[in-house]
Structure 1
Amino acid sequence: MNGKESTLPPSALRPVQGAANLAVVALALAGLAWAVRALWHIRLAMAGQPASGPPDQGDGVHRPLNALENSYHLVDSAGSAVTVGCALVFLLWLDRVRDNARALSGAEPRYHYLWLFLGWIVPIANLWIPRGMVADVHRSVFPDRRLPAVVNWWWGLWLAGLAGGVGLIYADSTDEVIARAYTGVWPLLAADLVIVAAAGTAALMVRTLTAAQQERVDEAARTDS
């Protein structure tokens, strides 16, 4: 504890185990979606670029897509939808553990509620604020414990996945990514692998921080009773 009493009784704390389980499942699905995307990158590389050239011919000209390229568009769209859903579920979990950390510690979070959303999209700030919010959840309740290493592993992999415009945020269109797979697939596969690892590490982080907070919630319940 940090020397302050809980501002709310244990019965008023928000349940987090269900949100944590949903987040873990969502992260597993996101990792699977990116693994499937990597498989399609390999398929495209093995098939080789058609004689007609890349899908985007330049000057606004696009040739008809073949069956493999069409299927990649479907994989890409499905993966993007899963990733958005995963982000929403992860934020639901983070919102709940932040509320409980405030109730258990009696201290206001370091970052305002708006940063729960803005922290991921504001340039420069998104390099440290999301990690800071997650770290604050743990440190506000357990100031004497070291931050679990999995938090830093997750954040390092997340940043690596954002780098280079070939990871979580593609700088190019889907057709341009297909052309990359034909001519230089290794950067794409490296980014895919990093993102799958980031999803797995995030799931472990969610379980680790949730278990630690649940330990404190159970302790508060025993003290209250």
Structure 2
Amino acid sequence: MNEKESPLPASAPRPIRSAANLAVVALALAGLAWAVRAVWHIRLAMAGEPASGPPDQGNGVHRPLNALENSYHLVSSAGGAVTAVCALVFLLWLDRARDNARVLSGKEPRYQYFWLFLAWIVPVVNLWIPRGMVADVHGSVFPERRLPAVVNWWWGLWLAGLAGGVGLFYADSTDDVIARAYNGVWPLLAADLVIVAAAATAALMVRTLTAAQQERIDEVARTGS
């Protein structure tokens, strides 16, 4: 086979297991952070709204927070920070997996590099391009195999977590979420449960796709192709 016919670029696949392990750990921590947030939602609901009313009194007036409400602000901020770090680590894994898929298949990724970051935040396209990038990692290397079901489970849970402004990205302020917990905690708990499930499913997806890609990397190394 001459150079023009070779399906593989000259570069070699990059190590993927360490990036995958970091992503799994980050996803586990993110899931734990949201589980802790759910516990605080339950604590707020059980405590009940103070006689002084919600933290946001309206017209720009905010009453002093009590100890439980203050602690929820800390839990919420910590959870947001952990989620941000998790997102970065996940993208680092996806970037490496995409690069390896290009090397192993000899095909350019279906989506340009800038979509690795923009696809998650641009309205409308964020409903399918992120899943498409993940599916392309597997499909370009294993066109003969079906896409693992865990990818669709992860994506369905991710979209559910985005729905309604009570999941991954609250439409309201933290004080407004506290008021929700006082007056109707079940939608918050449902969103928390979906996000924890999405994090767990994402971790399983990372392990599944990484194992398949590592299998092909080892095969290429053995044959020297």
Aligned 8 A contact 1:34 1:79 in 2: yes
Superposed, 1:1-225 pairs within 5 Å as: 5-8=7-10, 12-224=12-224
Q: CA RMSD in A?
A: 1.1
C-alpha distance in structure 2 between counterparts of 1:8 and 1:66, whole Å: 62
TM-score under structure 2 length normalisation: 0.97
Question: Which runs of 5 or more residues in structure 2 are unaligned?
Answer: none
C-alpha distance in structure 2 between counterparts of 1:47 and 1:6, whole Å: 62
Aligned 8 A contact 1:8 1:104 in 2: no
TM-score under structure 1 length normalisation: 0.97
C-alpha distance in structure 2 between counterparts of 1:74 and 1:169, whole Å: 17
Aligned length: 221
C-alpha distance in structure 2 between counterparts of 1:193 and 1:104, whole Å: 37
> What's the CA shift string for 1:91-125, capped at 9, x where partnerless?
00000000000000000000000000000000000
C-alpha distance in structure 1 between counterparts of 2:79 and 2:26, whole Å: 12
C-alpha distance in structure 2 between counterparts of 1:8 and 1:134, whole Å: 24
Question: Could you tell me how far 1:7 is from its partner in structure 2?
Answer: 1.4
C-alpha distance in structure 2 between counterparts of 1:4 and 1:182, whole Å: 63
C-alpha distance in structure 1 between counterparts of 2:6 and 2:39, whole Å: 51
> What's the CA shift string for 1:27-82, capped at 9, x where partnerless?
00000000000000000000000000000000000000000000000000000000
Partner AA of 1:76 in structure 2: S
* Structure 1 residue matching 2:64: 3-state secondary structure: coil
* Structure 2 residue matching 1:57: 3-state secondary structure: strand
Aligned 8 A contact 1:91 1:116 in 2: yes
Aligned 8 A contact 1:162 1:169 in 2: yes
Aligned 8 A contact 1:158 1:198 in 2: yes
C-alpha distance in structure 2 between counterparts of 1:6 and 1:220, whole Å: 10
Question: Could you tell me how far 1:8 is from its partner in structure 2?
Answer: 3.1
Aligned 8 A contact 1:44 1:181 in 2: yes
Question: Which runs of 5 or more residues in structure 1 are unaligned?
Answer: none
Question: Could you tell me how far 1:185 is from its partner in structure 2?
Answer: 0.1
Question: Could you tell me how far 1:13 is from its partner in structure 2?
Answer: 1.4
* Structure 1 residue matching 2:146: 3-state secondary structure: coil
* Structure 1 residue matching 2:57: 3-state secondary structure: strand
C-alpha distance in structure 1 between counterparts of 2:13 and 2:143, whole Å: 20
* Structure 2 residue matching 1:111: 3-state secondary structure: coil
C-alpha distance in structure 2 between counterparts of 1:128 and 1:4, whole Å: 32
Aligned 8 A contact 1:105 1:140 in 2: yes
C-alpha distance in structure 1 between counterparts of 2:170 and 2:68, whole Å: 20
Aligned 8 A contact 1:55 1:179 in 2: yes
C-alpha distance in structure 2 between counterparts of 1:92 and 1:36, whole Å: 26
